[in-house]
Structure 1
């Protein structure tokens, strides 16, 4: 129980650090973007009218970096960090249960387990502890979607081909129809992480970690009382 509480605390600290870092960097990028636009406007005023279009065409790549590339890179890195935090926490949690409790969940390497390492851990523990409160939740479904997105960020630079990854492509297109959306695909089938995404993925990841650990602790407490 002590180790589980320690793992939970470590995960919480990491999520808090990611949240603080994200907020700091989002603010910094916005401020730098505004400064850059002001500088360009001042420079543009020095050009005659017939040359201003050429001036802005020349500087459009720099604007794109500030308003698109930098935020996207930041948010994708937050995604990767969040999923890694959940993954490490769950793998250590499974190891703790196998080594320091009467419970004997199967190893993550068991061939009957499927999906990502996170899903395998939850399947393993779910065989002996009821985790349905979490696995039936929207947060769990959203986390699974984001694990798939993370894989495309790492392995194909964020490109989701509509034929090769048809199911994921369709999921994201459906996600785009939400009133409050945080991811989208551009015309090149590249994932675009929209404003507010970092806050959302941190909340989703934290929700799942909290839910799984609380369910395990409740199960152990109930068995202790008997």
Structure 2
């Protein structure tokens, strides 16, 4: 049972936010608890991102160490395995997907806490959207008036990476040449465009990409931290709790 519930409905859950809620009516100890909670939540996100970064460092180091063995295995089993290129790409692709899963999870958590503390009558799960990113954007805009344009360039970068994620998860990193994915892939030095193939069923030419180095994941980790820092700062500075 969360601590705030022991305060009673009139203490927290019925206090109105901004024009409807009066932050000054919240008892000082309760205000401090809410601020402490959000600071703790922010530190938890930082901790998880640091864990991901440590794991990335370990695996990238392992990739460098094992490169000689990858070359040996490729010579032994044939180029169709191409371990030298495939293994690093598989790790980096999986890492990108995992990082974005963390982003989605934490945005849902923030939305859930906003729902509870502000006694909202609807939940993020009630909203329609193509992804939890878009649903969280809508939810936080409606409930605490968070303008996501103020979260750029981090927000735009996350959305582009999410398109990469969808291509990896649903299409084995393939995409149509005139898509948003194509434009983003071409803008990233760490992504390599592979030879296109003709999709006979859809009568379209499809390209694919591989992640050739760690640069995009480094940028993703850095921008994810900045993105959440901006959200927590907005919540605390605007008493949107």
Measured against the shorter chain, the TM-score band is 0.7 to 0.9
Q: Which residue of 1 aligns with 2:4?
A: none
* SS of equivalent to 2:239: helix
* Aligned CA-pair RMSD: 2.8
Q: Which residue of 2 aligns with 1:86?
A: 103
Matches within 5 A, 1:24-173: 24-37=58-71, 59-61=78-80, 64-66=82-84, 68-101=85-118, 104=120, 106-111=122-127, 114-132=129-147, 135-162=150-177, 166-173=178-185
Q: How far did 1:149 drift?
A: 1.1
- Compared with structure 1, are the counterparts of its residues 23 and 173 closer, same or farther at alpha carbon in structure 2 (3 Å cutoff)? closer
Q: How far did 1:105 drift?
A: 7.8
Q: How far did 1:171 drift?
A: 2.3
Query: How far apart, CA to CA, are the structure 2 residues paired with 1:146 and 1:118?
Result: 12
* TM-score for both structures, normalised by structure 1: 0.74
Q: Which residue of 2 aligns with 1:7?
A: 41
More helix by share: 1
More strand by share: 2
* TM-score for both structures, normalised by structure 2: 0.70
Unaligned runs of 5+ in 2: 1-33, 197-206
Q: 2:194 aligns with which of 186, 190, 214?
A: 186
Query: How far apart, CA to CA, are the structure 1 residues paired with 2:157 and 2:116?
Result: 31
4+ aligned runs moved over 4 Å, structure 1: 55-59, 133-136
* SS of equivalent to 1:190: strand
Q: How far did 1:98 drift?
A: 0.8
- Compared with structure 1, are the counterparts of its residues 173 and 13 closer, same or farther at alpha carbon in structure 2 (3 Å cutoff)? closer
Counterpart contact for 2:96–2:217, Cα < 8 Å:
yes
- Compared with structure 1, are the counterparts of its residues 105 and 90 closer, same or farther at alpha carbon in structure 2 (3 Å cutoff)? farther
Query: How far apart, CA to CA, are the structure 2 residues paired with 1:154 and 1:160?
Result: 12
Q: Which residue of 1 aligns with 2:20?
A: none
Query: How far apart, CA to CA, are the structure 1 residues paired with 2:142 and 2:150?
Result: 13
Query: How far apart, CA to CA, are the structure 2 residues paired with 1:123 and 1:30?
Result: 42
Residue by residue, what CA displacement relative to the aligned partner does 1:134-183 show, whole Å, maximum 9, x if unpaired? Answer: 64511111100111111121112222133xxx43244235424xxxx233
How many pairs does the alignment contain? Answer: 196
